[in-house]
Chains A and B, each alone.
Chain A
Amino acid sequence: MSVLELDDVHRDHGGGAALVRALRGLSLTVLPGEFVAVMGPSGSGKSTLLNLAGGLVTPTRGRVVVSGTDLTGLGATARAALRRRSIGYVFQELNLIPSLTAAENVMLPRELDGVRTRTARADAMSALSEVGLVGEAGRFPEEMSGGQRQRVAIARALVGERRLILADEPAGALDSNGGEEIMRVLRARCDAGTACLMVTHESRHAAWADRVVFLRDGLAVDSTEPAPGPEILLEKR
């Protein structure tokens, strides 16, 4: 089963003379373990696509299905709950809380999920170990490098049962080595079964994905075919 499915999705902003058709019939499927990058010029609909996939906005027309649940059929509360449980976000601006340590930042979504502190901490440590930062668990954001902070943000996106990561320029503010560390972490997560949809304008980062979708004027104009052979796709299903 796909983790994310967009089916003929349209999204308009504004109305009348100021109507902007941000997406004009986009279909996209992301399977478990698949890493999909989205590229396109400014105004091509990349951010709208991520916001729709994350249930932050609803489509004007079409369906958005996350882990088998049609987001368009849900009320705002149910959508928020699904969003919190199933989806992790990584942004260029990392939004770590400065007065919390790395571990506490990563625990936060689990505590919001309602799990006990002890479990949340264990989950946080396991997510931090995936991004190679167990040793930094007790540090505050300002005591870490930009690359380390971004890896904490990824750990926070991964913590618990989240099977879909939405990333908006996750390595945009980092130098080339820092950016590569982030890509290695995301790649490893996908190889372990998580699905990832990443918007980027850096082709070097997009090259880590299995597939690149090119957006222009709200439409997918082209795509590189999936990288692995059919036997790998069979394993994933």
Chain B
Amino acid sequence: MSIRHSLLALLSRGPRYGYQLRTEFEAATGSTWPLNIGQVYSTLGRLERDELVLRGGQDEEGRSVYSLTERGAEEVRQWFATPLTRAERPRDELAVKLALALTSPGVDVRAVVQAQRAATLRSMRDLTKLKTTAEGPAWPLVLESMIFQAEAEIRWLDHCETTLLHTAPPVPAHDAAPPIGEDSDERARTR
């Protein structure tokens, strides 16, 4: 997710204080992506350096109003006009984890797949619950995007499992090793 472009897009509605940008970002995305105020100001600093925003004078409380420059406005137009590519979302730790599970001795890949499927369904359920109470046009849209992505992940896991049934022999449940990954402790607890 590009904080940089999100802030520029919010500034295209008109000049804003830094704390307003944070509030409006969180309102638009239903607090699904918490943003800390430090991130906001460090991003604004870089945008100012790159001459995409202009920092106005300080008010009596020492706060500055930021506004979009012409270059900044062009950057927002370009952002909305350009589709995202997969390469800009490189995090596919799950695919890497499953690939490693397949080739690591003593790992029950089916258990890894099932643990992930249950975890993804749980988060899908939480998102669905949030959606039933979500107001306004923007937040449900963001939630649905996350729900459909989770659905795609589960479909892919189903597909992996079916493929595995035809290739790998089942590993007996008693010597199932914990899934590999930095959160393997948590996995082991939830199973």
Q: Residues of B contacting A214 with CB < 8 Å?
A: 114, 117-118
CB <8 Å contact, B151 and A204: yes
A209-237 interface bits toward B, Cβ cutoff 8 Å, 1 = contact, 0 = none: 10010100000011111010000000000
Q: Is A51 positioned at the interface, with any CB of B under 8 Å from its CB?
A: no
Nearest-neighbor residue (CB-CB) of A209 within chain B: B125
A90 within 8 A of B: no
- Taking the closest CB of chain A, its distance from the CB of B174, in whole angstroms, is 15
Q: Does B180 contact A (CB under 8 A)?
A: no
Q: Mark B149-162, 1 if CB is under 8 A from A, else 0.
A: 01100110010011
User: Taking the complex as formed, is A95 at the interface, i.e. its CB lies under 8 A from any CB of chain B?
Assistant: no
List residues 80-99 of chain B with CB under 8 A from any CB of chain A: none
Whether B128 is near chain A, meaning CB under 8 Å from some CB there, is: yes
Contact B147 A224 (CB under 8 A): no
Instruction: Indicate whether B122 reaches chain A with its CB closer than 8 angstroms.
Output: yes
Residues of chain B touching chain A, judged by Cβ–Cβ distance below 8 Å, are 114-115, 117-118, 120-122, 124-125, 127-129, 132, 147-148, 150-151, 154-155, 158, 161-162
Q: Can you add 15 more A-B contacts, CB < 8 Å, to A203-B124, A204-B147, A222-B114?
A: A184-B132, A203-B120, A203-B121, A203-B151, A203-B154, A206-B121, A206-B124, A207-B121, A207-B125, A207-B147, A214-B114, A214-B118, A222-B118, A223-B118, A224-B118
SS class of chain B's interface: helix, strand, loop or mixed? helix
Q: A41-B158, A41-B162, A187-B132 are in contact. Are A207 and B124 (CB under 8 A)?
A: yes
**A91 in the interface (beta carbon within 8 A):** no
Which of A204, A208, A221, A225 is within 8 Å of B114, CB to CB? A221
B190 to chain A: closest residue by CB: A225
Please state if A224 and B122 are interface contacts (CB–CB under 8 Å): yes
- The answer to whether residues A204 and B125 also contact, given A214-B114, A214-B118, A223-B118 and a CB cut-off of 8 A, is no
**Chain B neighbourhood of A224, CB < 8 A:** 118, 121-122, 125
The 3 closest A-B pairs by CB, nearest first: A207-B124, A203-B154, A207-B128
For the residues of A in contact with B, the DSSP-based class is mixed
Q: Are B118 and A212 in contact (CB under 8 A)?
A: yes
| Cα separation A222 to B120 with both chains bound (whole Å) | 13
Contacts of B162 in A (CB 8 A): 41
Greatest chain A CB density within 10 A among B120, B125, B151 is at B125
Contact between B127 and A207, CB atoms less than 8 A apart: yes
Q: Determine whether the beta carbon of A203 is less than 8 Å from that of B150.
A: yes
The residue in chain B whose Cβ has the minimal distance to the Cβ of A204 is B151
- Give every chain B residue within 8 A of A223 (Cβ-Cβ): 118
23 A-B residue pairs with Cβ-Cβ distance under 8 Å, sorted by A, are A41-B161, A202-B151, A203-B121, A203-B124, A203-B151, A204-B124, A204-B128, A204-B148, A206-B121, A206-B125, A207-B121, A207-B124, A207-B125, A207-B147, A207-B150, A208-B125, A212-B118, A214-B114, A222-B117, A224-B118, A224-B121, A224-B122, A227-B125
A180 to chain B, nearest CB (A): 9
Across the interface, do B117 and A227 meet the contact criterion of CB distance under 8 Å? no
B-contact bits for A181-203, CB 8 A (1 contact / 0 none): 00010010000000000000011
Residues of A within 8 A of B121 (CB): 203, 206-207, 212, 224
Least Cβ–Cβ distance between A210 and chain B, in angstroms: 8
Residues of B within 8 A of A209 (CB): 125
CA distance A207 to B117 in the complex (A): 12
* B115 contacts across to A, CB distance below 8 A: 222
